[in-house]
């Protein structure tokens, strides 16, 4: 039990900063575990419903996404993830990005520009509102200013990646980064279960719900999963909205880096263009390029189906990883105050973005 | 947690100038898969 991720997000950070060639063999057991859990989730989706029906039981139709997450959660929070699997489990973000790039084949460029334009406008409002509100909350709760910055960036832009990028740029303490990441991950895990319920209670369309999940759920993996838990179409929209948010990461981190350098508490950014390129998530470009290729018929219809299926397999590994890296006991150890600030902020951001999406739904009539 | 923040940042800066990030590897992997499908090496992906 004690051999679960000590501080999962830091293990992940170390993994990300290690060289890929040295990690190659170490990651295989964990990748096989992700695949086994994901595939078990798929088998459970296919067979549990059938079994319940044949025995005349009333049982909700649980999708593979939820099964994969639940199986991962069960392992992580009971027996724990043995050391041999950890490096491979940490690759779940790699599979997420592979899945997002391949998902580009399911979007025609016109759709991306249209939906991305709407998303961009909503994202700009969301980021501004979220940063302002989280900064205010941090001051009210007397959190350290850099911890407040990390929580604000994590809530406003894109969860763990944004926090890691900002930590380096503003020279924040590693402890602050761990607090912020733990709060964002815990709230992301809660969003997985609450967002679909709220969406169904409010009878949101796939379009509106997907946009809402992409705007309000912080970490890309959880946003994709929260969307896919609602429907396949909502999952697609959630990824698109979240990808638009991710594209903003460089600008927000640069603004904070300049602010903290101005305060004499961070290194000065010499080359702003290079800084933006370094922080820019490259998978956004990959997604757009695949979408352009699909739009101009570089792929046949059958090939687009194959790409979409491959994207689903990559997401399946991601969803298993989301469950496996979520350890509630470790999250509890990170302290209550950052979690409280994050929770209040997330609820307000969720309500705010829901209002934005419902407003946009009325204007565009989705 | 054992490695200092500054050391990690330095390592990250040094590696980012000479090596691909995991982000870039993911894009490359996706494109290799897409090309294998496009040119018929992989014909069918079941779901």
CB A238, CB A224: distance < 8 Å: yes
Over residues A302-334, the pLDDT tens digits come to 999 999 999 999 999 998 998 898 888 877 776
What's residue A23's pLDDT?
61
Q: Is A276 on the interface with B (CB under 8 A)?
A: no
Burial of A283 (0-12, 13-18, 19+ CB in 10 A): buried
Cβ neighbors of A295 (< 8 A, separation 6 or more) are A108, A109, A110
List Cα–Cα distances, A53 to A49, A56, A229, in angstroms.
6, 5, 21
Q: How far is B29 from chain A (nearest CA, A)?
A: 7
Q: Rounded to an integer, what is the distance from CA A333 to the centroid of its chain?
A: 22
Q: What percent of chain B has pLDDT over 90?
A: 45
Average pLDDT, chain B: 72
What's residue A332's pLDDT?
74
Residues of chain B with Cβ-Cβ distance to A98 below 8 Å are 26, 29-30, 33
Examine the pLDDT at B7 and tell me if it is beyond 60: no
Rounded mean pLDDT, B2-17: 42
What's residue B36's pLDDT?
96
The length of chain A, given as a count of residues = 366
- Annotated domain spans of chain B: 20-47
Question: Closest Cα to residue A263, out of A194, A332, A171?
Answer: A171
Query: What's the rounded Cα separation, in Å, for the pair A366 and A32?
Result: 40
CB A74, CB A327: distance < 8 Å: no
Q: How far is A282 from chain B (nearest CA, A)?
A: 6
Examine the pLDDT at B6 and tell me if it is beyond 60: no
DSSP A81: -
What's residue A21's pLDDT?
58
Q: What are the residue ranges in chain A where pLDDT is below 50?
A: 1-16, 18
What's residue A298's pLDDT?
95
Nearest CB among A19, A93, A174 relative to B15 is that of A19
What's residue A289's pLDDT?
93
Q: How far is A174 from chain B (nearest CA, A)?
A: 6
Cβ neighbors of A235 (< 8 A, separation 6 or more) are A210, A224, A227, A228, A229, A315
CB distance A281–B23 less than 8 Å? yes
CB distance B34–A20 less than 8 Å? no
Nearest CB among A10, A178, A282 relative to B23 is that of A282
CB A252, CB A163: distance < 8 Å: no
Rounded mean pLDDT, B4-28: 60
Helix (H, G, I), strand (E, B) or coil at A264: coil
Nearest chain B residue to A164 by CA distance is B9
What's residue A22's pLDDT?
60
């Amino acid at each position: 039990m004690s051999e679960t991720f000590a501080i999962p997000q830091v293990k992940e950070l170390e993994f990300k900063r290690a060289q890929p060639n040295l990690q190659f063999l170490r990651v295989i057991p964990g990748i096989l575990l992700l695949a086994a859990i994901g595939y078990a989730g798929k088998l459970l989706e296919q067979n549990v419903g059938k079994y319940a029906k044949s025995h005349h039981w009333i049982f909700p139709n649980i999708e593979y996404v939820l099964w994969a997450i639940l199986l991962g959660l069960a392992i992580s929070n009971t027996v724990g993830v043995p050391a041999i699997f950890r490096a491979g489990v940490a690759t779940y973000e790699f599979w997420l990005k592979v899945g997002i790039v391949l998902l580009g084949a399911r979007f025609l460029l016109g759709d991306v520009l249209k939906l991305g334009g709407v998303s961009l406008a909503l994202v700009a409002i969301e980021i501004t509102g979220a940063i302002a509100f989280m900064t205010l909350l941090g001051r009210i709760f007397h959190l350290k200013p850099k911890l407040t910055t990390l929580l604000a960036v994590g809530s406003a832009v894109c969860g763990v990646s944004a926090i890691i990028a900002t930590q380096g740029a503003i020279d924040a303490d590693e402890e602050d980064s761990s607090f912020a990441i733990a709060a964002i991950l815990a709230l992301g895990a809660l969003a997985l279960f609450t967002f679909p319920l709220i969406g169904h209670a409010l009878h949101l369309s796939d379009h509106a719900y997907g946009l809402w999940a992409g705007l309000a759920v912080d970490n890309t993996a959880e946003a994709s999963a929260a969307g896919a838990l609602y429907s396949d179409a909502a999952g697609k929209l959630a990824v698109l909205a979240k990808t638009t948010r991710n594209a903003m990461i460089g600008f927000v981190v640069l603004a904070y880096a300049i602010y903290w350098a101005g305060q004499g508490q961070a290194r000065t950014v010499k080359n702003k263009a290079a800084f933006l390129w370094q922080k820019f998530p490259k998978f956004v470009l990959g997604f757009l390029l695949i979408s352009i290729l699909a739009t101009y018929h570089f792929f046949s219809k059958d090939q687009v189906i194959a790409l979409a299926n491959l994207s689903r397999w990559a997401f399946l590994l991601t969803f298993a990883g989301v469950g496996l890296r979520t350890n509630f006991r470790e999250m509890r150890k990170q302290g209550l105050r950052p979690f409280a600030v994050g929770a209040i902020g997330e609820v307000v951001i969720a309500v705010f973005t829901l209002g934005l999406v419902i407003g946009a739904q009325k204007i565009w009539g989705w | 947690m054992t490695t200092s923040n500054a050391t990690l940042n330095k390592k990250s800066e040094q590696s980012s100038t000479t090596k691909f990030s995991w982000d870039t590897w993911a894009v490359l992997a996706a494109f290799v898969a897409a090309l294998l499908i496009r040119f018929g090496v992989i014909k069918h992906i079941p779901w």
